[in-house]
A and B are shown apart, each in its own frame.
Chain A
Amino acid sequence: MSIQSIIAHEQPDNFAFTAENEEKIATILAKYPEGRQASAVMPLLDLAQRQHQNWIPMKAIEHIANRLDMAEIRVLEVASFYTMYNLKPVGKWFLQACTTTPCMLRGADDMVRCIKDKLDISSGQTSECGHFTMLEVECLGACVNAPILQVNDDFYEDLDYQSTAELIEALAADTPPPIGSVIGRQGSEAESGATTLAKEKKTAKAGK
């Protein structure tokens, strides 16, 4: 790895926040005491990423550094530390597949294999069509509904090979299915349905 290998080869010539984001920045900066504006570096990087097709160009890093009176390298350190920030272009659908132990035990490998079969990409790659990028990530914090695939900001849960394939097809057709569990599980209840407080639930329903 070197700096050149973690950042995009082709960089835009300039970067500026949109007027809408400028308003958000004013709100974010107001949260921190005077002289501590550098604390806003992470929210600003996130804004920049959302504004710029889900990746952060170097010009945005420089812009933010300038804005927060930080050294450019300090901003780059933050941006390169967190996997949340993309320093290279990603597809329209950015898939983050959790492969940490609970997801792995519940079949994350099938999910990843399906992505590989359907899109011919492994971790860190973008599909030929350019619409999909996949990244294997560590725990996404939704272990109860494992395995998880995060698509941009949303979680799809309880995936297996078949449902992953359907999800990808739906995404390819630009019709993302409803987020959450693909097997219709509510919240984090057991896969076989609620096992406790079942009576109260019925009563609650009856009460409607």
Chain B
Amino acid sequence: MPKLTVNSVEVEVEAGATVLQACEEAGVEIPRFCYHERLSIAGNCRMCLVDMERAPKPIASCAMPAGDGMVISTETDRVKKAREGVMEFLLVNHPLDCPICDQGGECDLQDQAMGYGFDESRYQENKRAVSEKHMGPLIKTVMTRCIHCTRCVRFSTEVAGTPELGAIGRGESVEITTYLEKTLASELSANIIDLCPVGALTSRPYAFVARPWELTKVESIDVTDAQGSNIRVDARGAQVLRVLPRLNEQVNEEWISDKARYAIDGLRRQRLDHPYLRGADGRLHPASWNDAFDAIAKVMKKARPEQMGAIAGDQVDAEALFALKSLFDRIGSPHIDCRQDGAKINANQRSSYLFNSTIEGIDTADALLIVGSNPRIEAPVMNARIRKRYLNNRIPVAHLGPEADLTYPVNYLGDEIDVLSKIAAGKHPFAKIMKSAKRPMIIVGMGALRRADAGAIQWLLRELSDKVGVVTPDWNGYNVLHTAAGRVAGLDMGFVPGKGGLDVHGMLKAAHAGEMKLVWLLGADEIDTTKLENSFTVYQGHHGDKGATVADVVLPGAAFTEKEGLYVNFEGRVQMTQRATFPPGEAKEDWAIIRALSDRLSFSLPFDSHATVRAALVAAVPHFGDIGDIKPARWVKFGRTGALKSDAVEAGLSQFYMTCAMSRASETMAECYRAADQHSAEMAAE
């Protein structure tokens, strides 16, 4: 490990580290534009110049490997002068339009110009002007501001795996563009906005909306997929204006998906801000909370416990789930389910539904079998991690499911489940690859687990896991990829049918037959709502989506940005959202609505503040108390023997942009959906 001296401080860095990293180790901040620790080194902005002893001129610290015995100084006059020179060149062609630039206030160039810029320009000639580039509905370009750091090019090529951006031309006429200005077809595309050190790539939906210093910033969790990416929610007044990623090496590094970032405009549309009651005319009319509760209590008091059921949706927080479960436990109904899609998961076998290896585990996996999932659209940030692993080690990946471009090469196994029995029996070449791997990994998607033969698939996969070493004493590579942010919390607390209880399918069937007197939909929109016409339906949620349209009573709840709620991601990691704005109108936090309703029945649920709900939840399921942590699951026997069905294996999701009530209400997501549709139509035409 090389030892070097930075400003007379001696540091030791890992072999292969750069001088820039050594400087950071020594606590010295080096200005930079092109260097980014998660991208390859370009060395083209020259802002990171430092002095090295015995070097005739300053060196670019980002591109210079740290060597033993180097003596680096970063505060000499020569360094300052060199950086000032670089800055002057960067500003030669950079417009002075900070007052109308959306990057203003959070711009690397602006900040560093404060340190290294001159107060006036010596440049008399005209600045170059570059035409705007079309990059789709999310990214606004003002290419005159571009300083050609190529971070965006490297991101789309390396991390996103969709090499669409490039620098054409040369010298002064270099321009960053997509090929023939096609829309970017990546689910991670908007991360280049964060990467852009200047205002060349800015957010189109957020254009001219706010300045960074006007916003209140809240640290939260994304719920549009089950990964639980860490986000920062920026709000002004009652509106959430933007979502930015937060650093969490264990979960999302520093990326988030486009849906996490841009579905938030759906929070302003189609919101339920008032309780509604279905009147005699068959239409929903605004009502008071009192009337709404009275209507529900009337039905609940008359109905027998087994005539009532509850279905929880995909984005419900643990507190609301727990409150509803407590309510139904109390009235004695076993009919509760949080698996809208009918996934056949046994909530008692925790290792059968977790992403056991954890996301960080992907970094050490050396063979991967994906079954019934398209991780690129189900968890794009996690998929980027698989791609990173592939790029570093060329791990073999096999994919069973609908054919898709996962951004890394796969050994495509087709979409027939029979292949799985072959692999499990060791008769397929990929079984050998897994056998010889030290840390093989399996990712099972909802496409496999919601099939009728899911039990048999789980049985096969578990057998395979034991056989080829997917599970060993120090490694568990059996991973389930959920698509619903609230699912694992629901399973952890047992929000599944109790003894003799009906699952979602059973409840809907019973409701259709008129055997259900009351069905409570807690944010559940992804079910066949036409089956609910014969029962009294309560919809509790935040959007007027499919569920609300069939409901007899609508109870307006809070979206994830409007409440403190626990979510458990697919790894089993407990994380918490925080309130950025208040729920609109008369909407309330979901646990509080259920608590208030219980007053109308013959009992009251034993909690009256958010703290007491959470305490009760932690008392019932202790690991909910360890925020940020994962409680590992013991490897148990699961699945059951049975015959496999012959139908084709599907993926968990078929499209990326509109998958929940919030993203369906989002105009931005609708635009992306159309653009992606057009993109695939064009690709098909070619």
Chain A residues packing against B (C-beta within 8 Å) = 1-3, 6, 58, 71-74, 76-77, 80-81
Contact = CB atoms under 8 A, between A and B. Distances in A.
B133 interface: yes
The contact size tier of chain B is: 10 to 19
A3 B173 CA distance: 11
A138 B165 CA distance: 29
Interface string B361-384: 000000000000000000000000
A58 B179 CA distance: 10
Contacts of A58: 180
A76 B164 contact: no
Nearest to A7: B180
Contact of A2 (B164, B167, B175): B175
A77 B180 CA distance: 12
Contact of B163 (A1, A71, A80): A71
Contact of A77 (B130, B131, B166, B173): B166
**Main SS class of interface, A:** helix
Interface in B124-155: 130-131, 133
B472 to A, nearest CB: 33
B404 interface: no
Contacts of A71: 157, 163-164, 166, 179
Contacts of A73: 163-166, 168, 177-179
Contacts of B179: 71-73, 76
B168 A3 contact: yes
Given A2-B175, A2-B177, A58-B180, A76 B168 contact: yes
Interface string B162-195: 0111111110010101111100000000000000
A126 to B, nearest CB: 20
B173 A1 contact: yes
A81 B169 CA distance: 5
B166 A1 contact: no
Nearest to B168: A80
Nearest to B132: A2
Best-surrounded residue of B163, B168, B178, B181 (most CB of chain A within 10 A): B168
Nearest 5 pairs between A and B by C-beta?
A73-B166, A71-B163, A80-B168, A2-B131, A73-B179
Given A2-B131, A3-B175, 11 more contacts: A2-B175, A3-B181, A6-B168, A6-B169, A71-B164, A72-B179, A73-B164, A73-B165, A73-B178, A74-B163, A81-B168
A1 B173 CA distance: 7
B40 to A, nearest CB: 14
B86 to A, nearest CB: 23
A131 B177 CA distance: 32
B163 A77 contact: no
Nearest to B133: A2
Nearest to B686: A62
A77 B178 CA distance: 10
B391 to A, nearest CB: 14
Nearest to A79: B168
A3 B180 contact: yes
Nearest to A66: B686
B409 to A, nearest CB: 10
27 contacts: A1-B131, A1-B169, A1-B175, A2-B130, A2-B131, A3-B175, A3-B177, A3-B180, A58-B180, A71-B163, A71-B164, A73-B163, A73-B164, A73-B165, A73-B168, A73-B177, A74-B163, A76-B168, A76-B179, A77-B167, A77-B168, A80-B168, A80-B169, A80-B170, A81-B168, A81-B169, A81-B170
Contacts of B175: 1-3
Nearest to A81: B170
Contacts of A3: 168, 175, 177, 180-181
